[in-house]
Amino acid sequence: MFDFPDSIAPYGQVRGRPLYRLQGMESMSTGSAHLNFAYSSEAGRINIGQPALLPPGAWIGAGTFRNSFYVEPWAQLSSARDLYLVVDFVGAVRLRVTRASRGRPNETLHEINLQSATRTQQVLALGSPGDAPEASRVFWHIEALETGALLHDVAFCSATAPREDCRLAVLLRTFGRTSDIKALLRRFLDAASEDRFYARMLDHMHFWVLDTTAGSETAYEDEWLQNLNVNVLFGPNLGGGGNAGHLIKLFEDAADKSKTPPTEVLILDDDLSVSMETLSRYFMFVAYRASECLTSLPVLMKSRPTVVWEDGGFWGRLNFHEAGDFSRKRNMFPALLKHGLTLDGFEHLDQFSPLNTCEYSTFIFFGLSMKSLRKVGFPAAFFLRGDDIEMSLRAQESGLMMITNPNLAAWHEPAHSYGQEYMAILHGIIINFSYSEHGADFYVRFFEERMHEHASIDDGVGLGLYLDILAELLDPKSKVLTHEFQHHYLPRLKALGAAKFTRIPDADRDNFERRAREEKSLIVPFVYPGFHQVRRFRNVVLVNHSLRSYREVTPVPMAEKVKLLSAFMALLARLQAEFPEVQKRWQERLKSSAADAFWTRVRDDYTKQTRTLATHSRTPALPQRAPAAPVAPSTATLVDGSAAAPAMASFADTSAANASQVNTREPAMSYATIELSSDGLPLDFDAEFYLVLNPDVKASGLDAGEHFRNYGRNEGRRYRL
């Protein structure tokens, strides 16, 4: 079921010791270009597997959000105690390595001229992550000198050996987003076809997909899936949290039967945008992790890709402006860290430098060890909203440290609706019942405020929503957090979806709102609109900011409004009187629904509806030879003209005697000026001779031309004498 390599392949070598790549160059085109690199106008762009062309005077800088090396996660939580920078290039360049530490002037660690007529790896020692000043990030800047250069790769590496038994399972579940899941998997595979390091990373990962979309049974017959370690299952739709719990149970069953089960688990959302570089950085981080922790990452918005949506959070605590405090009294909503932070420039990058510990992590990216997962248990049986919050709080109470790693990032689009508000509030109150010391007055006041807000603008839908939540909390026969939980949500969400909003393009929104206000219309949020005197306005328009949509309020007839308010007050009186029993009932249900027995029954109840759609084991990437010994830095000089520092070693591929490239092979050659045919092969390419020169390719059974295009050219493999 699980097939993983025995060890993690080294990336290169320094002084006879293997080097392991911790962080390479992020080049995924999400968001503004400056999130990855800063370029001069003449510099060619960096793409996966393709070198950047730098004419004389052109430069590339990596002091950005995605390519800075944030030190704290490695200094505080990893076993890595040495750090190197490996520069893979051809030509002549000036390299500057800088360390920025919060509250201190920037410090130049290296400034050096590098020159080579053939593809070369230059290695510079950067010291130990633990020796850097607290809250630091390291980045590089490369400028081409008079001959210009090709920049193939720049990587942060360590000579400290990682855990050899690190095995990662990536869990994805979806309803209605089958194409998004497949596109994400294809992105990882495409990156691996262009970069052999990514290919080796995929060897250490096994993807588990639970698809609950009707009609998706034949969607996973694509031949390319055979190039992944992947299990695809089809099952009933139990909502986001329900599907997560069901998938984790099925996955743990398989792990229990395996001789080599995964050691690490990563839960990903089905509509996030994340790169293979982030996935690889995460794998290497957990391979070096020295203590247990739950890891997430900064989440940015797809629609505004330079805006941070969250960097972890606290469940209602520390919100002093909302009467929060350091005790167990919590508010109804999480306080999202760095929410709204804009990365249009470079001035906010050092805010990510301190190690960010939090108590709330999203299921968008939720990583922990198999050991910690078994300790924490399963997500609560919420259909949507709150399952990740509750599991995070439970993890924290178990003593598990939670961080967000700034060397990682994902993009996700937040959204809100009446249905999501219903689940967010219902589940938020249930979570507070177990994790807060609030008494009945807190909850009664919350609902009373919602009643006054929506009654003041005659919003019957809003009143009905909170009335339904109150009724559900007070109903001892509610299906919420029982084995019938999904049957409660489906009709309720359908009814709430009947309140239709009209979307207005961004280009027209400002003009629309201006004209509406000129006509004395009141425009307020569709939830939490505040208290208003409606008689001052001609009509009321509700706006859903996250969806950029609007709905005009149809006034509630007085008789219906009185009926709603009477029912509301009656339920509030019951909540006040019955609070101890209500709180205890939901505490017991919440605890029960996160236990193994609950999800074992879910698995058994849906055995006939759950089946395997695809199971594949990828062919491992070709093994690399042991790196050859490094040679003296004969081509390197410091900017001031003095001899190169002893900490720096050169890897030049000019002959078999001194070849030591990252993907090592002997002898190697440069392809900077070779003319290619229409099929991407050199005009004088001889497939038979290529296999003779590269017996490992012949042994693998791969097609010679395909191997050369995907791997051999980047590795400098010879195809002729």
* CB contact burial 190-219 (16+ within 10 A = b; e otherwise): ebbbbbbbbbbbbbbbbbbbbbbbeebeeb
CA dist., res. 369 & res. 400, Å (int): 11
CA dist., res. 197 & res. 9, Å (int): 9
Q: What's the mean pLDDT in 71-81?
A: 96
Q: What's the mean pLDDT in 693-700?
A: 80
Q: What local confidence, expressed as pLDDT, does residue 434 receive? A: 92
Max avg pLDDT among 36-40, 384-388, 590-594: 590-594
As given in the structure block, the two tokens for residue 386 are 């709150």
If pLDDT is split at 50, 70 and 90, which confidence band does 642 have?
A: very low
- Distances in Å between the Cα of 44 and the Cα atoms of 73, 119, 671, 709 are 32, 18, 17, 21
Residue 263 predicted with pLDDT over 90: yes
User: Which segment of 56-60, 401-405, 717-721 scores lowest on mean pLDDT?
Assistant: 717-721
Q: What's the mean pLDDT in 198-224?
A: 94
Average pLDDT along the chain: 86
Is residue 343 within 8 A of residue 435, CB to CB? The reply is: no
Query: Which backbone phi and psi does 187 adopt, to 5 degrees?
Result: -60, -45
Of 245, 393, 379, nearest to 312 by C-alpha is 393
Q: What local confidence, expressed as pLDDT, does residue 621 receive? A: 76
Q: What's the mean pLDDT in 625-654?
A: 35
Q: Distance of alpha carbon 395 from its chain centroid, rounded?
A: 19
Residue 708 predicted with pLDDT over 90: no
Q: What local confidence, expressed as pLDDT, does residue 31 receive? A: 59
Q: What local confidence, expressed as pLDDT, does residue 43 receive? A: 78
Q: What's the mean pLDDT in 551-556?
A: 86
Of 191, 174, 198, 494, nearest to 363 by C-alpha is 174
If pLDDT is split at 50, 70 and 90, which confidence band does 30 have?
A: low
Q: What local confidence, expressed as pLDDT, does residue 637 receive? A: 39
Residue 679 predicted with pLDDT over 70: no
Of 66, 621, 2, nearest to 264 by C-alpha is 2
User: Which segment of 473-482, 539-548, 603-612, 665-674 scores lowest on mean pLDDT?
Assistant: 665-674
Beta strands at 107-125 and 84-101: parallel, antiparallel or unpaired:
antiparallel
Is residue 426 within 8 A of residue 469, CB to CB? The reply is: yes
Residue 157 predicted with pLDDT over 50: yes
User: Which segment of 32-46, 133-147, 331-345, 472-486 scores lowest on mean pLDDT?
Assistant: 32-46
∠ Cα 5 8 12 (to 5°): 140
As given in the structure block, the two tokens for residue 234 are 């089809």
SS3 637: strand
Query: Which backbone phi and psi does 215 adopt, to 5 degrees?
Result: 90, 0
CA dist., res. 493 & res. 663, Å (int): 54
Beta strands at 264-268 and 230-234: parallel, antiparallel or unpaired:
unpaired
As given in the structure block, the two tokens for residue 662 are 């990252």
User: Which segment of 4-13, 114-123, 481-490 scores lowest on mean pLDDT?
Assistant: 4-13
Domains of the chain as residue ranges with CATH: 12-161+632-666 (3.90.550.60), 438-593 (no CATH), 674-721 (no CATH)
Is residue 399 within 8 A of residue 445, CB to CB? The reply is: no
Q: What local confidence, expressed as pLDDT, does residue 331 receive? A: 76
Q: What local confidence, expressed as pLDDT, does residue 327 receive? A: 61
Q: What's the mean pLDDT in 613-641?
A: 55
Q: What's the mean pLDDT in 645-674?
A: 36
User: Which segment of 166-180, 295-309, 508-522 scores lowest on mean pLDDT?
Assistant: 508-522
- Tell me the pLDDT tens digit for each residue of 361-391: 999 999 999 999 999 999 999 988 889 999 9
- Alpha carbons within 13 angstroms on the beta-carbon side of residue 543 total 15
Residue 585 predicted with pLDDT over 90: yes
As given in the structure block, the two tokens for residue 277 are 């570089």
Is residue 499 within 8 A of residue 419, CB to CB? The reply is: no
If pLDDT is split at 50, 70 and 90, which confidence band does 634 have?
A: very low
Residue 308 predicted with pLDDT over 90: yes
Of 526, 523, 388, nearest to 454 by C-alpha is 526
If pLDDT is split at 50, 70 and 90, which confidence band does 545 have?
A: confident
Of 89, 85, 96, nearest to 159 by C-alpha is 85
The secondary structure element, H or E, covering residue 486 is helix 485-496
Q: What local confidence, expressed as pLDDT, does residue 126 receive? A: 95
- Alpha carbons within 13 angstroms on the beta-carbon side of residue 185 total 28
SS3 550: strand
Instruction: State what percent of residues in the chain have pLDDT above 70.
Output: 89
Residue 544 predicted with pLDDT over 80: yes
| Greater pLDDT, 378 or 333 | 378
CA dist., res. 518 & res. 599, Å (int): 56
Q: What local confidence, expressed as pLDDT, does residue 666 receive? A: 36
DSSP state of 363: T
Number of Cβ atoms within 10 Å of the Cβ of 642: 8
Q: Is 684 left (phi over 0), alpha (psi -120 to 50) or beta?
A: alpha
Q: How far apart are the first and last CA of the chain?
A: 44
